[in-house]
Amino acid sequence: MDSEITRYQCRIVNIKHGSNFKVVEPVNLYSCTFGDDCFVGPFVEIQRNVKIGSRTRVQSHSFICDKVSIGEDCFIAHGVMFINDLFKGGMPSREDKDWLPTVIGNKVNIGSNSTILPVKICDNVVIGAGSVVVKNIIVPGVYAGNPARLLRIL
> What confidence score (pLDDT) does residue 16 get?
98
C-alpha distances (whole Å) from 123 to each of 71, 99, 107, 135 are: 8, 23, 6, 15
> What confidence score (pLDDT) does residue 9 get?
85
> What confidence score (pLDDT) does residue 1 get?
58
**What is the span of the domain harbouring residue 117?**
12-85+97-153
Residue 90's CB is within 10 A of a number of other CB atoms, namely 5
Mean pLDDT to the nearest integer, 127-139: 98
> What confidence score (pLDDT) does residue 8 get?
82
In a domain, 48, yes or no: yes
pLDDT band at 7 (very low <50, low <70, confident <90, very high): confident
Query: To the nearest whole number, what is the mean pLDDT of the chain?
Result: 95
In a domain, 80, yes or no: yes
In a domain, 17, yes or no: yes
- Res 87 pLDDT > 80: yes
- Res 59 pLDDT > 70: yes
In a domain, 1, yes or no: no
In a domain, 90, yes or no: no
Q: How many domains does one find in the chain?
A: 1
Say which CATH number the domain at 109 has.
Answer: 2.160.10.10
In a domain, 6, yes or no: no
